[in-house]
Chains A and B, each alone.
Chain A
Amino acid sequence: MKGSVLLVRTEQFFERFAVQRHRLIGLALLRVVLGGSALVMYMSDYGNRELLWGPDAVTSFTEFRHTIPGGQFSLYQFSTSQLWFEVVFHLGIVVALAFAVLGGRILTVIHAVFLLSLFIRDPQLLEGGDNLARIVILFLPFATTDAYFSPFAERRRRKLAAQSGPSAVTLLHNFMALFVVFQVTVLYFVSGVWKVIGQTWYQGTSMYFISRLDQFAFSGPLTWLMNNAFAGTALSYFTIVIEVAFPLFVVTRRRWLRELGVASIEALHIGIAFGMGLVVFAGIMIGGDLACLRDDDYRALATRARTLLSRVRAARPTLPESVPSSLADPSIALVDAHEV
């Protein structure tokens, strides 16, 4: 009897989680960012594609085939012909664009195959952002990512609204959203904890050293600013606090705290993109962060933005409707206002 009560309660718990799909806006934004980042990667090295991924790349074809991990494959492994490489590479660009714009399960699976194929061709070229993209792209085929920011979004939302009652597909979507959020949260927390035990991070000199690494010294002002002991220490501590506290920002019931946490970490990533030149890394991380905000957060942000916009519009001086058009001269209104 107790067992059946437990079973019913468990079922009720899952039912609550299986009625409505959550984080539809965040996952749609993540899809757009992942597709866009892949496009940037394809296009930024379009001229160097032979050297990085071609049949005669720096990593030889023999070595590439020899080092493919068990259980994985790459579309680039099937032929050494130049034509095959060009076809796969250019199809990858088209698929990335279609994935970013349209979304949908089938396109997500196809994009995942092309993207992972490129990543496997030479893993040395990958950075932290690619690592996150490589993982979350495996969750996205099981989630709904085209309910927003897609030409078919409205149709998708209508279909979702027509569904009534709990369903296993909805439950699967929500679990995939949970996987994505968990992965992003682990990323920041672990990175923050590793920094806490780093001598240069708690001494506040880590940003000074990073800003002097040739490959990351993209911004003269940042390098100059990091000469300042206070600025360097503040930025180091800010990074640690934001990263370690990120899980709290995600789980808190206080919306303002969640938004503050995500906004702070976005500020960090914008700094990384322009200060250190890690544009794709920062882009993918921002995409991951956006999946951590709830649909209600986005709606609240949109409401606030609309309120702000309407206040700005209301604050503009307007002429009464009864004033004849011949008198509706902005210069006259300005003179009157000034005199008052």
Chain B
Amino acid sequence: MDDNPNVASVPERRFSLVLLSGLVLSIVFAAFALCVCVLVAPQSPARVRLLPYTSKLTHPYFDQVWTLFAPNPPTDNLDWIVQARYVDPAGAQHEGPPVNATTQLIDHAKHDRLAPSRLIALPMAFHDQISDYMGTRGTITGAHLDDAAQQRAFQALNLQYAACFDQIQRFASAEAAAQYPGETITEVRAVLVQQEITPFSDRYQQTQQPWKQYWDSGWKTYTAGVGA
């Protein structure tokens, strides 16, 4: 038995550190597991009550959504049509034909199958946001507000989505610049069109569902230099 306290204390201190570390890590793991489970769980009264507390720990570093084509995958295709107005060197104004920007980006992604481009994520993100915007707009319309209140609600909604509209305008500007290199582009327009996927029961029929206009940005001022 060694009476020197320094020698005896070495293994004890190490084991204590292991114990302390283990307890701390166990608590952290339990808290993380609980918070993540609350975050990813389907909506329920319990989740609504817990989420404000658990999201303080998970947001922003551990934010996560794992629905992955669930509960149901989309049943329609949404494409962005971009159109541009430009002035030729003689000063005459022209309006270009509508061009399907989404199809172009999909073809671009398919060009390199092993490393597809992420450009296609942009129109997908935009149509998700526009779908939300149109949904809220529909709710406001159906709320039977008086004209002034409805106008105020629409203005607040447009303000909320101002960043999204700006991004779409910049995206359309970049697309127009690629379509008309060297021209003086003045205005751009982005239109979101929608086509339902043929139902499974009609899959062998040759006719396709028609494209419908879902949202129109209207003519907006061209933003020069996007992505340049």
Which residues of A approach B to under 8 Å, CB–CB?
7, 10-11, 13-15, 17-18, 40-41, 43-45, 48, 50-52, 54, 56-60, 63, 66-67, 69-72, 124-128, 131-132, 134-135, 138, 165-168, 171-172, 175, 178-179, 182-183, 186-187, 190-191, 193-195, 197-201, 205-206, 208-210, 212-215, 218, 227, 229, 232, 274, 277, 279
Contact = CB atoms under 8 A, between A and B. Distances in A.
Contact of B42 (A126, A128, A193): A193
Contact of A205 (B62, B200, B226): B200
Contacts of A197: 42, 70-71
Residue among B69, B113, B119, B120 with most chain A CB within 10 A: B69
B25 interface: yes
A168 B18 contact: yes
Given A51-B227, A58-B227, A124-B125, A168 B17 contact: yes
Interface in B107-129: 109-110, 112-122, 124-125
Given A63-B163, A70-B60, A194-B71, 17 more contacts: A15-B18, A44-B116, A51-B119, A52-B227, A58-B227, A69-B59, A124-B125, A165-B11, A167-B18, A168-B17, A171-B22, A198-B71, A208-B203, A213-B74, A215-B124, A227-B203, A279-B115
A14 B70 contact: no
B117 A201 contact: no
A214 B226 CA distance: 26
A14 B19 contact: yes
B102 interface: yes
B171 interface: yes
Nearest to B17: A168
A127 to B, nearest CB: 7
Contacts of A43: 115
Contact of B73 (A166, A190, A210, A218): A210
Given A54-B227, A71-B60, A128-B68, A218 B119 contact: no
B18 A201 contact: no
Contacts of A58: 122, 167, 170-171, 174, 226-227
Contact of A138 (B17, B41, B61, B110): B61
Interface in B70-124: 70-75, 77, 79, 102-103, 106, 109-110, 112-122, 124
20 contacts: A40-B115, A44-B118, A56-B225, A58-B171, A60-B167, A124-B167, A128-B65, A171-B21, A171-B22, A182-B33, A190-B66, A191-B66, A198-B72, A199-B72, A200-B75, A201-B72, A209-B197, A214-B103, A215-B124, A277-B113
A206 B170 CA distance: 34
A52 B59 CA distance: 24
A232 B73 CA distance: 14
B18 A166 contact: yes
B32 interface: yes
A264 to B, nearest CB: 16
B152 interface: no
A166 B14 contact: yes
Contacts of A179: 29, 32
A26 B130 CA distance: 41
A244 B153 CA distance: 43
Given A40-B115, A70-B60, A166-B14, A124 B29 contact: no
Contacts of B17: 168
B40 A167 contact: no
B117 A56 contact: no
Nearest to B28: A175
A124 B72 contact: no
A171 B15 CA distance: 12
Given A197-B71, A214-B77, A175 B25 contact: yes
A67 B61 CA distance: 15
B197 A215 contact: no
B119 A172 contact: no
Contact of B23 (A10, A131, A186): A10
B67 interface: yes
Contact of B226 (A56, A127, A134, A172): A56
B132 interface: no
B167 A63 contact: yes
Given A44-B115, A56-B226, A127 B121 contact: yes
A51 B177 CA distance: 12
A43 to B, nearest CB: 6
Contacts of A127: 121
Given A135-B64, A205-B200, A195 B71 contact: yes
B37 interface: yes
B166 interface: yes
Contact of B227 (A48, A128, A172, A178): A48
B102 A214 contact: yes
A168 B59 contact: no
Task: Give the one of A43, A63, A199 with max B CB within 10 A.
Answer: A63
B195 to A, nearest CB: 9
A193 B66 CA distance: 10
